[in-house]
Amino acid sequence: MTTKFTRIAFALLGAAAVAAPAAAQEASNFNGPFVGVQLGWQQDRQTLELGTVPPTTSRARGNGLAYGGQAGFDYRLGSSVVLGLEASLTGRTGSNRFPTFDLDAGRTINLTARAGVLVSPDGLLYARGGYSNARFDIRNPGNASETRDGYLVGAGYEHMLARNVSARVEYNYADYGNDNLPGIGGGAQLNYHRHAVMTGLNFRF
């Protein structure tokens, strides 16, 4: 009888030893600092409303390749909730063309928070929101630049690929407000909106 119990005890200890690393890995998912890279599609949309009589409106949409990097920190709250902070820096190719000038999107800095729910031990569904600052360059004619403050909101899904590596895909929308511009025959208003679908790879430690 003693031998039988001894075998059972050793079997339970062995099972615990095998399960412990997996449990520790699961507990560390989406918890702690990370750095990463991102790549995706970005569309900047501008509407130019001229205060002429009658008023006229011009719209431009520019698609481009968005690229950049991010760093942040996730905090695992209980068994299924994750809260996080992230800073990112991105750039974009391409230009928006109006009849009288071109508008290029420059670098963008985002400072956002996110809240997510684990839909599996390795999968996080989340929403994001926060501050965004974007640079825009006016070309042809002239050469002028400005930076605009705005906000960003979005949602995404992130999945653990390995113990210290995760991949994500997310959609976000940003609004950078309006510019009131002088114009011939009346004032003009230029507004700024952005849509993006981004993929990312994070390295966690």
What pLDDT, in 10s, does the model give residues 55-109?
Answer: 677 777 888 999 999 999 999 998 899 999 999 999 998 877 777 778 888 899 9
Instruction: For the chain, give the longest Cα–Cα distance.
Output: 101
Query: Checking DSSP bridges between strand 188-204 and strand 32-50, what pairing results, if any?
Result: antiparallel
Q: What pLDDT sits at residue 75?
A: 96
Query: Of 66, 72, 69, 65, which Cα lies nearest the Cα of 37?
Result: 69
Phi, psi of 82 (to 5 degrees): -130, 130
Q: What pLDDT sits at residue 53?
A: 63
d(CA 103, CA 47): 12
Phi, psi of 104 (to 5 degrees): -100, 140
What pLDDT, in 10s, does the model give residues 148-190?
Answer: 999 999 999 999 999 999 999 999 999 999 887 765 455 678 8
What pLDDT, in 10s, does the model give residues 104-154?
Answer: 888 999 999 999 999 999 999 999 999 999 998 887 777 778 899 999 999
What pLDDT, in 10s, does the model give residues 3-38?
Answer: 543 454 445 444 433 443 443 344 568 999 999 999
Q: Which secondary structure element, helix H or strand E, spans residue 13, and what is its range?
A: helix 2-28
Q: What pLDDT sits at residue 143?
A: 78
